[in-house]
Structure 1
Amino acid sequence: MRKASWILSGTAVVLVAASAVTRLTVYPALHQVPDGSETTFRLHGTATLLNASALSGGGGELFLRDVPVTMNRHVEVTDTDGRTAVVHDDAALRGPGGKELAVSRYVWALDRRDLTARPAPAGSKAQNHTGLTVGWPLEPARRDYPFWDTGTEKAVPAHYTGDKTIGGRNTYVYDVSATGQLADPAVAKGLPKALPRAAVVQLTNALPVQQRPSAAELAALPVTVPLTYDSATEQRAWIDTATGSTVDGTLHQTVTARTTGADGPLTLFPVTDVNVRATDATVRDQADTAADTARLLWILRDGVPLGLLVVALLLAALAVRQSRRPTRTDPAGEEVHPDDVRTPIS
């Protein structure tokens, strides 16, 4: 085999190896949540809230009903350690004029590929949990996933309910429903453990008639009414099938005050009722980002490896062709390829 054939064959082998390395090493290394990544998901809608000012005698309606609100959820990867990402998950609910109505702050230790719980790195202050929290696996599937509900602090199913095109992207739709006693300490610490019966009667009388406890039930309550709180959350997420990113989402979350009446548990009044959905601008931005990410992943997963293989096959074919071309023997007895013969200059 001529020297040129050896060079072509060697180059082809190198390209095949580079294709395998790109697909099996480079792509998996890059196909994970990167350190320092962050996103802000914006939602808008309405909320019904207890009016703390009126409750304390400041006047006005006891319940602020259907107040227009916005919610900004900011998710940032602040540290990584191998397959583990430390993620800060902050949300702020604001009313008219940008007034802050509620905030939440969580820290999670997550797997950088499937976003499930990982052991918390030392000093991270990540909270214990099971299931998904801030998003879906980078390669989502048509199946149910365990999902961590912060209100009740328990894992519930996120049910796969179908496919839908949102913002030009193919998405899987997942529904989450969670109810139970409020367990989130950040929310519970701001709520009273008891109220005077007169205050409870005042609050329940401000509700529509069909939502009020009966007069007899209220009259049977002790002078100081002990309170517990229930949390109910309904979420729907539209998840990009190629990247696992959230393209669209809804959230309906309520906290309700309860007590124990003469005949058992007794629902008293709502504390918060928030109903929001992703803004149109957020859906467009999320869809555009998903498209860009999917394109990059295709290049790393398929485009570059296939391109290298095609070039390698072409070089291999050229090497075979070179090796099969006829040769002749020069006067010294050495084989000479026709391409090596030079025409003398006259």
Structure 2
Amino acid sequence: MRKSSWILTGSAVVLVAASAVTRFTLYPDLHRIPSDADTTFHYRGTASLLNAPALQAGDSAHAFLRDLPVTLDWRVAVKDTSGETAVVLDRAVLRSRDGKQLNAARHTWAVDRRTLAERPAPAGSGAERHTGLVISWPLEPEKRDYRFWDTGIRKAVPARYMGQESVEGRDAYRYTVDATGPLADPATLKALPAALPRSAVTVLAAALPADRRPDKVVLAALPEAVPLTYTSTTARTGWVDADTGLALNGSLHQTVLARTQTPDGPVALFPVTDVTVKGAPASVRKQAQGASTAQRAWWWLSTGVPLGLLAAALLVTAVAVGLARRRAVADNGPAGDGGSAGDEREGAATPAA
């Protein structure tokens, strides 16, 4: 085999190997949460909160701040990675329209870099225990129900698949999550009073709409120091990109309600927080653009580049085969012509003998 044929054959082998490496090594390595991922999604909506200064002053008319315009900034950032595990910071900050911080929550999770389900927490990471999804959906979401961790009650609840819709021109799966139960988030519980004077409870009850106030007889029978427990109720909807698993949009309605136990059973007293928000249009557009970019990049790595390398390998192989055949014809042609001339000379000499 000529040197050029060896070079072409070797090039074809290299191209096939490069195709396999791109599809089965490079693509899986990149098709997961990047080690430097850091995104912030912005929500807008309203919130009703206790007004501590008014409560302390006994001003029942202003004990609640109702329907305040608010923003909720939700940041998800990878702090560290170890193999298929990502340690992720999950921080949400609720602010008033003028930028004043009203509330904040911070968590750290250990999740799988592809499925985003729970993973064993690396030593020293500080990641909280959880089960199921907690920050988003898998990179390859399916039309089925999942389990989603609710931070308020610290339990996994169903995330139900509700159908397919369009968000900013992209196909999205819609999931809903509903969770209710005793408030169990340690940070939130620490910030709430374990008891309040009956006078303060009466002031707060008086500030509620008439149809939501506790019965006056029940209030009058409460002890001087009213022990409190809290329930958390969360209703969230997520619109998830069907091709990349990126969250395109979301809505959240979360309430924390103060309750107390009476001889006749638990009694709801007053809401502590009531927040309703949905994705800001600019953030939704940005997420959709990011999903389009990610889809193109992953298509090139999983399909475009591997197929292109295979096509190049076939072309090089075809050229090598074509050159080999041309050389074979060129090498065999002169030998055949010489043989025919020899036969003619022998035939001409025989009669002369």
Within 5 Å, which residues of 2 pair with 1:1-346? Answer: 1-57=1-57, 59=59, 61-325=62-326, 326-328=329-331
Secondary structure of the residue aligned to 2:98 is helix
Once the two structures are TM-superposed, the CA of residue 9 in structure 1 deviates from its matched residue by 2.4
Task: State the 1:329 CA deviation.
Answer: 5.2
Higher mean alpha-carbon deviation, 215-224 vs 129-138, is at 215-224
Give the Cα separation in 2 of the matches to 1:190 and 1:245: 33
User: In the TM superposition, what is the alpha-carbon distance from 1:243 to its structure 2 partner?
Assistant: 1.2
The total of aligned residue pairs comes to: 333
- Equivalent residue letter for 1:197: R
Give the Cα separation in 1 of the matches to 2:331 and 2:35.
62
Q: Which amino acid aligns with 1:38?
A: D
Structure 2: gaps spanning 5 or more residues = 336-353
Following TM superposition, by how much is the alpha carbon of 1:245 offset from its aligned partner in structure 2, in angstroms?
0.8
Report the 3-state secondary structure (helix = DSSP H, G, I; strand = E; otherwise coil) of the residue aligned with 1:163: strand
Shift of 1:2: 4.0
8 Å contact kept, 1:217–1:262: no
Cα deviation, 1:210-253, whole Å, max 9, x if unaligned, reads 11121222222222211100000010011111111111010110
SS in 2 for 1:256: strand
Pairwise CA distance, 1:306 = 0.5
Identity %: 57
C-alpha distance in 2, partners of 1:329/1:109? 69
Q: CA deviation at 1:330?
A: 9.1
> In the alignment, residue 312 of structure 2 is paired with which amino acid?
V
Q: Which moved more, 1:52-61 or 1:119-128?
A: 52-61
Deviations 1:83-138 (A, max 9, x none): 11111111110013211100111111111111111111111111111111111111
Distance (whole Å) between structure 1 residues aligned to residue 122 and residue 332 of structure 2:
72
After superposition, give the CA deviation of every residue in 1:293-331 in whole Å (9 maximum; x if it has no partner): 111111111110000011111122222222223133598
Aligned counterparts of 1:80 and 1:329: Cα–Cα separation in 2: 63
Cα distance in 1 for partners of 2:294, 2:188 equals: 36
Aligned residue in 2 for 1:339:
none
Distance 1:328 1:98, change over 3 A: closer
Larger Rg belongs to:
2
User: Does the 8 Å CA contact 2:35/2:80 hold for their aligned counterparts?
Assistant: yes
CA separation of 1:87/1:252 partners in 2, compared to 1, >3 Å: closer, same or farther? same
Question: Residues 220 and 262 of structure 1 are in contact (CA less than 8 Å); yes or no, is this contact kept in structure 2?
Answer: no
Say which SS state the counterpart of residue 49 (structure 1) adopts. strand
Shift of 1:147: 0.6
From the two aligned structures, give the one with the greater helix fraction: 2
SS in structure 2 at match of 1:255: strand
What CA distance in whole angstroms lies between the structure 2 residues aligned with 1:223 and 1:53? 21
Whole-Å separation in 2 of the counterparts to 1:330 and 1:76: 71
SS of equivalent to 2:231? strand
State the one-letter code of the partner of 1:299.
W
CA distance in 2, matches of 1:228, 1:213: 15
> 1-side partners of 2:167 and 2:159: how far apart?
19
CA contact (8 A) 2:55 2:203 kept: no
Query: Which residue in 2 is equivalent to 1:338?
Result: none
Instruction: Kindly indicate whether the alpha-carbon contact (under 8 Å) linking 1:37 and 1:76 is maintained by their aligned counterparts in 2.
Output: yes
- Confirm or deny: 8 A CA contact 2:110 2:127 kept in the other structure: yes
Q: How many Å separate the matches in 2 of 1:24 and 1:96?
A: 49
Helix, strand or coil at the partner of 2:130? coil
Residue deviations 1:51-80 (CA, integer Å, cap 9, x gap): 111111174601111000001111110111
Amino acid at match of 1:328: D
